[in-house]
Structure 1
Amino acid sequence: MQSQPSFDRFIVKYRDGSAEQVNPAMLGQRLGAAGAALGGRGVRLQHLRRTALGSDVIKADRKLDRAEAETLMRQIAANPNVEYVEPDRLMKPVLTPNDTSYNQQWGYFDADAGIRANTAWDLANGSGIIVAVLDTGITNHSDLNANVIAGYDFINDTFVSRDGNGRDSDPSDPGDWYASGECGAGVPGSNSSWHGTHVAGTVGAVTNNAKGVAGTAFGAKIMPVRVLGRCGGYTSDIADAIVWASGGTVSGVPAVSQRAHVINLSLGGSGACDTTTQNAINGAVSRGTVVVVAAGNSNADASNFSPASCNNVITVASVTSSSSRSSFSNYGAKIDVSAPGSSILSTLNSGTTSPSTESYASYNGTSMAAPHVAGTVALVQSRRLALGQPLLSPSEVESLLKSTAYPLAGSCSGGCGAGIIDARRAVESAGGGGGGGGTTTYTNSADYTISDLATVESPISVSGRSGNAPSSTPVAVDIRHTYRGDLVIDLVAPDGSTYRLKNSSGSDSADNVITTYNVNLSTETINGTWKLRVRDVYSGDTGYINSWSITF
């Protein structure tokens, strides 16, 4: 688990011409009082320097946790001469992997069509999360091996399996090649695809190793589960594999040692979702496993394909680097989100039939889009782990991906769901609420002038959350005004409902008070734009909203 953030440096901006700005002794006095008022151990504050913007850099004599830092900043901000106070954060470089072919992996960094994983990696890398890849198995590859854990071979039929036996603990891919006519009259022969190796590389190739390609969630572990072989794979085997990988029981198969948090199904066939597959998916989801499914490559409505049309899955369409739907990608109302699936470079094998040397190649397909999403789910859930919060439920993950997606810049005839997933926004949104634990504070620190006898609103937009607000929701309000008694303050919910925080009152004369109101918002959904509405009902005094926050 990552350590929680700590703070010992702050930036304080005093109003131009204030005593604190022109008199070092006064500045020291004010800082000393704020540090002493922290309570408990207190803190001593040292003035380091003045910035080019006229603000002052302050250093504490010890590290403060988030709660202490917020308390200290509120003490400093209580001074009417303070314009703002904020942490002096230590920035770190955003990871740009040194993998030699990373610059060809447009799906991670392209501004108009990529999933923006490169900006998410400084927050999460998938650590602690297991992604099961139900596919053709996996081949030996130095750009994958370190991230692969034990899996299983679920293929019963020896014709399909090609490895000479039925189910066993070896998910190695012996090759899925077939001769002309073996998969049906008139069906031409085909070389081995090494499809599972390619999908696995997009999920979690070893990254920043100065070699090959990067993986979407390179800190996650890949569980290879073999369900596809010569001519494909049977529904019955795939369903059992879904049950097993998610921690369910399959007769004759040892229980999985660690269940998968995510299952990637880059496979499918024609026809609506069958009962067997749907039941297996329902069981996996009930155990907390997120199921990600490729939409299919027939340039047709995904509702006519399985498992793309199943319920309780995240169905993924493919987009090109020009931010349009890939010509082959299925579409329609069953699509949840889209991801890069054209010209996707990943790990492979050079063998035409049986395995040979490791290699890399670009493939096209919704099979390539789905692992981008499965990897992003791993990033989201690993962020939850790092913050000490419960994992999001499958439905919460789906809602989060949709609410943080962005629209295609090009065309998508037929429908591409909520748009292209945005890994950075998804990971950021994963940082609070949901799953029954953790909170996030949303703040608007911009100044909004409160003119005499006028009304002003300060908005806060919330996305990527699920469910309703708590019955006791903290709303912290920092208003600077020469007579607060003139003010009526309301909280406006996204649906327009208003909640009175404060009436005008002649006894409320304090001009600079940070007040926290606890409001019953249990009937309001969290997502949407919340507003702090302030109305000045008496003439003679003015001020401004310095900041306000709401915590869910």
Structure 2
Amino acid sequence: MLCVGTATSVAAPTAAPDAAPAPSAPAGQAPVERLIVGYKSMTTEANSDSAAAKDAEAKGKKAGESLDFDRRLGTGAALVDLGGELGKKDADDVMAAFRADPDVAYVVPDRRVYAAAVNPNDTEYQRQWDLFESAAGMNVPGAWDKATGEGVKVAVIDTGYVAHSDLAGNVIAGYDFISDPFMANDGGGRDSNAADPGDWMLQGECGNNYPERDTTSSWHGTHVAGTIAATTNNSKGIAGIAYNATIQPVRVLGKCGGTTADIMDSITWASGGTVSGVPNNPNPADVINMSLGGSGACDSGTQSAINAAVNRGTTVVVAAGNSNANAANFNPANCSNVITVAASDREGNRASYSNYGTIVDITAPGGETAVSSANGIWSTLNSGTRSPSTENYKAYQGTSMAAPHIAGLAALMYQANPSVTPAQVESSIRSNARTLPGTCSGGCGAGLADAARTLGASGGTDPQPPTGSVFTNANNVNIPDTKTPVTSSLAVTGISGNAPADLQIAVDIKHTYRGDLKIEIVAPSGASAVLQNTSSDSADNVITTYTVDASGVAASGTWKLRVTDMYSGDTGYIDSWSLTF
């Protein structure tokens, strides 16, 4: 018999860590002398030094300390002097006073840091808030003592690659899959040269008056590639997230965009499949990044290419789209077996342009340049308006910029655990996300990705990725709105004896009214337990981990997740689920 134990959420985000990601310091925590206080953008304290000074004085009185406003930092945060060194408890009391104020976005100690290997010497690194800022950065430096992407291959399916010295050392041979010579813009169709000749367009030359005006070349694929794997600690430029990984440029976007057929072939080839007329890929990708998309449903052809890639062990990361709309209406964001990424701004809000919705898996920094280019994502580029010219760097914004943050994180995970599966990559990134410090309307997935937590590195905090033997089924199963049970099966092998008394069942079900659902686990013996019964809970989705006493049944065999929609009006599907023994 199975007994239902306590259910714990793997997707429930926790508060951001107090300390900003930083190099390792000498043993012991130094006393705190100052605090960095970030106020929400529309508050008086965010825009007035005198108001910030009065607030500091008031917070100090509340905590029994003497606080003074020191100065305004470049990000707009206030630096607050504590009037002397405070021990951990006294500093925590002061920070608690700030955190209790709804006008405060964050408060962190102004700690000393020390030179160490995780502090890159790249000259543009200070612009990369998306990697290290405590408020809305992805906590990347805290993961670098666990992995840097060594030996991992990332395919960037995009516009190709324009030569850049801050990236060249990590670029390997790719392929140009653009079959239409006009769209290729390089004098021919498909060939082994993935160089980006430029994707500029003249007004109306793509039909239907598109584009509405002349455009310049974007060098989009090179910008994406730099975020993932720019050379690091080379005393120039930027730092890549997985800076020892290799980038394989796979060209599908040119003049007037790209075609479904070319994209399908590129996914197949990049992941190690065979494409007629194209030499096999000698370096199949561990991770594919697709910062591209269009409106409409995920077509069966693209879905089949993605499924085959995932079955080969390749994690596929896609951008959610930039229409401030439900990502369910855009492909390949709405395809199954992908990690769909929304974008956040520098304050940790869903970026104003970012798509949203229940199909979004995770959010990562995408920047927002409307106010300042300093709030965008800084990466490798080229100054040419049509054909390539001199290399440079530039700030872009978009879910196109958010997706490579997750591709880079996935690359770190593949180095740390070469046997990791795409389903485990997605599950670990989601379960180790932290709460967005800003606001998100419409749905931003599990929260803001956190590299250090996901890698279980010294800069991370609980929860950690699952340990033990993990078995996952990531195939989607539609849940009919008819009180008819559906099951998703999972074959467990190699586990001797009975299942544990704390069997973990991680469930990811997309549904627009989760209270409609009855969820059960069925053991190989046929014994079953109810994980969730119906309720009046009207929230979206069931993303949680249940713990069940399964010690009375054998571990090996076919387990089933059984789901029944008991009420009409809302629908959904089983996205993925896993058992951890």
TM-score bracket for the superposition, by shorter chain length: 0.5 to 0.7
Closer, same or farther in 2 for the Cα pair 1:245/1:499, shift >3 Å? closer
Deviations 1:436-470 (A, max 9, x none): 8xxxxxxxxxxxxxxxxxxxxxxxxxxxxx99987
User: 2:282 aligns to what?
Assistant: 257
Matched, 1:378 2:392: no
Trace 1:506-517 onto structure 2 (pairs within 5 A): none
Shift of 1:473: 8.5
User: 2:427 aligns to what?
Assistant: 399
- State the secondary structure of the residue aligned to 1:495: strand
- In 1, distance between residues paired with 2:333 and 2:144? 29
User: 2:513 aligns to what?
Assistant: none
Shift of 1:427: 1.3
User: 2:56 aligns to what?
Assistant: none
Q: Which amino acid is 1:160 matched to? A: M
User: 2:547 aligns to what?
Assistant: 495
Matched, 1:124 2:147: yes
Deviations 1:103-150 (A, max 9, x none): 110111121211111100011001111000000000110000000011
The equivalent position to 1:285 in structure 2, one of 310, 314, 330, is: 310
The equivalent position to 1:358 in structure 2, one of 385, 391, 405, is: 391
Matched, 1:335 2:363: no
Shift of 1:321: 1.0
Trace 1:156-305 onto structure 2 (pairs within 5 A): 156-184=179-207, 185=209, 187-305=212-330
Closer, same or farther in 2 for the Cα pair 1:494/1:254, shift >3 Å? closer
How many residue pairs were aligned? 369
Trace 1:53-64 onto structure 2 (pairs within 5 A): none
Shift of 1:497: 3.8
Q: Which amino acid is 1:98 matched to? A: N
Q: Which amino acid is 2:306 matched to? A: I
Does structure 1 retain, via aligned residues, the 8 Å contact 2:500–2:549? no
Trace 1:448-487 onto structure 2 (pairs within 5 A): 471=497
Does structure 1 retain, via aligned residues, the 8 Å contact 2:272–2:280? yes
Closer, same or farther in 2 for the Cα pair 1:149/1:180, shift >3 Å? same
User: 1:414 aligns to what?
Assistant: 442
Does structure 2 retain, via aligned residues, the 8 Å contact 1:94–1:119? no
- In 2, distance between residues paired with 1:309 and 1:141? 33
Shift of 1:472: 7.1
Q: Which amino acid is 1:181 matched to? A: G
Does structure 1 retain, via aligned residues, the 8 Å contact 2:500–2:551? no
- In 1, distance between residues paired with 2:466 and 2:117? 18
Shift of 1:278: 0.6
User: 2:336 aligns to what?
Assistant: 311
Matched, 1:110 2:97: no
Does structure 2 retain, via aligned residues, the 8 Å contact 1:151–1:171? yes
Does structure 1 retain, via aligned residues, the 8 Å contact 2:157–2:266? yes
- State the secondary structure of the residue aligned to 1:241: helix
User: 1:481 aligns to what?
Assistant: none
Q: Where do 5+ consecutive residues of structure 1 fail to align?
A: 1-90, 386-390, 437-465, 476-492, 501-518, 526-550
Does structure 2 retain, via aligned residues, the 8 Å contact 1:94–1:118? no
Trace 1:510-525 onto structure 2 (pairs within 5 A): none
Max radius of gyration: which structure? 1
Deviations 1:400-446 (A, max 9, x none): 1111111101110000000111111111246954578xxxxxxxxxx
Deviations 1:460-494 (A, max 9, x none): xxxxxx9998747999xxxxxxxxxxxxxxxxx96
Q: Which amino acid is 2:191 matched to? A: D
- State the secondary structure of the residue aligned to 1:398: helix
- In 2, distance between residues paired with 1:382 and 1:144? 20
Q: Where do 5+ consecutive residues of structure 2 fail to align?
A: 1-113, 368-375, 457-463, 472-490, 502-544, 560-579
Q: Which amino acid is 1:362 matched to? A: A
Closer, same or farther in 2 for the Cα pair 1:303/1:473, shift >3 Å? closer
Deviations 1:136-194 (A, max 9, x none): 00011000000001100000001100001011000000000011111231621100000
- In 2, distance between residues paired with 1:434 and 1:141? 42
- State the secondary structure of the residue aligned to 2:317: strand
Closer, same or farther in 2 for the Cα pair 1:397/1:470, shift >3 Å? farther
Does structure 1 retain, via aligned residues, the 8 Å contact 2:428–2:466? no
Deviations 1:503-526 (A, max 9, x none): xxxxxxxxxxxxxxxx98779x9x
Length-normalised TM-score, structure 2: 0.60
Does structure 2 retain, via aligned residues, the 8 Å contact 1:207–1:213? yes
- In 1, distance between residues paired with 2:147 and 2:115? 14
User: 1:344 aligns to what?
Assistant: 377
Does structure 2 retain, via aligned residues, the 8 Å contact 1:380–1:430? no
Does structure 1 retain, via aligned residues, the 8 Å contact 2:319–2:342? yes
Length-normalised TM-score, structure 1: 0.63
- In 1, distance between residues paired with 2:115 and 2:556? 39
- State the secondary structure of the residue aligned to 1:418: coil
Closer, same or farther in 2 for the Cα pair 1:289/1:499, shift >3 Å? closer
Shift of 1:267: 0.2
Shift of 1:384: 1.0
Shift of 1:499: 7.2
- State the secondary structure of the residue aligned to 2:149: coil
